[in-house]
Amino acid sequence: MLAPGATIGILGGGQLGRMTALAAARLGYRVHVFATERNSPAEQVSAAATVAAYDDGAALARFAQAVDVVTFEFENIPAAAVRRVAALKPVMPRPEILEISQDRLHEKDFLNRVGVATTGYREIADAAALRRALAALTGRAVLKSARMGYDGKGQATVGADTPPGEAWRVMGAGRGILEDVVDFQCEVSVVVARGADGAMEAYPPVENRHVNHILDTTIAPASLPQETTRRAEAIARDVAEKLGLVGVLAVEMFVAKDGRLLVNELAPRPHNSGHWTIDACATSQFEQLVRAICGLPLGSTERHADAVMKNLIGGEVETWREAIADPSARLHLYGKRTTRPGRKMGHVTRLVPRKT
């Protein structure tokens, strides 16, 4: 067990790191963040920061020497940098888990290997392979970059009549994955925490609504049949167990029209759809991460209210005055200096009486 007073290192300086640092400070831990730019959201609330490129081996070594345990706050950190740090200090979740989540093909291959259902998919190694795949399509599919895509970046919806060259250009990567379009009722996610002792705590499934491929609103809990809720939580727990996760994992799923649950993506860190837990639950997803990597008992996921979380994207951040005046709202701003379209600037969680 890592006692309060120790230093947690966070690779990445974004809002997830910021909220993790705030949770860590409440429990008496110091946070040292490694970020690539000065005055990042996480640095603003952390005790120390190393600002350098992820390929700066000397900076990574100094960072590792200054902390007791390390985690990461988003998937697109170069795996090589995480492995360099892991050679010096414990990194949780393990670098191998990060590498699975960084590659959509590896991720779906892993899920299928451990018996978890996903959408149908195939590897697209080059433009010629895409041309052949499009000719064989009978419906619609989504072409995605195998690596580095998020919030709708690096993807295009395609059909048999789509010009292959244009789709390849929009996808914008040297290797892709073609995923079948799912006829779904809704998109949900489950956030689960797992400790080194194998103990697990899961939050209820939440419904996620997207605008322009970016998460706009999360409704907690999702309005699902009890059996679907049970299966969604069981899938998340099973995936965390099969990964050997120590930390927090978000499992995103489609609820198909026929009731099937199909896993879409994994995120081995706190997730945007779990932000509501800060204000509505006994223990937030960020505190669970701190507890898990420090060897503390996991906290209760009991919620004292239902919630609707709304992201403030781009210019929507200017509505903060309305939120701060609303007694049912909890405003969270991320300290980002520049507003631009599609950028997550903050979120508002509105609490509603818990349904009985």
What is the per-residue pLDDT across 79-90, written as a single tens digit (0 to 9) for each? Answer: 999 999 999 999
SS3 42: coil
Tens digits of per-residue pLDDT, 119-160?
Answer: 889 898 887 888 888 877 777 888 998 886 665 567 888 887
233, pLDDT greater than 70: yes
At the topology level of CATH, where does 120-180 sit? Dna Ligase; domain 1 (3.30.1490)
Cα Rg of the chain (Å, integer): 20
Return the percentage of the chain with pLDDT > 90, whole number: 80
- What CATH architecture does domain 184-352 belong to? 2-Layer Sandwich (3.30)
- CA max distance for the chain: 60
pTM of the model: 0.94
Q: Which residues pair with 144 in a beta bridge?
A: 155, 177
Q: Residue 150: what pLDDT?
A: 60
Tens digits of per-residue pLDDT, 258-298?
Answer: 999 999 999 999 999 999 999 999 999 999 999 999 999 99
Q: Residue 151: what pLDDT?
A: 58
Q: Name residue, tokens 């609490």.
A: 351
Q: Residue 161: what pLDDT?
A: 79
- CATH code for the part of the protein at 7-91: 3.40.50.20
Quick check: 176 and 144 in contact, CB under 8 A? yes
Q: What is the mean pLDDT of the chain?
A: 94
Q: Residue 62: what pLDDT?
A: 98
Number of Cβ within a 10 Å radius of residue 10: 29
Least confident interval from 61-65, 180-184, 253-257: 180-184
Return the percentage of the chain with pLDDT > 70, whole number: 98
Which sequence spans correspond to the domains of the chain?
Answer: 7-91, 120-180, 184-352
Q: Residue 168: what pLDDT?
A: 82
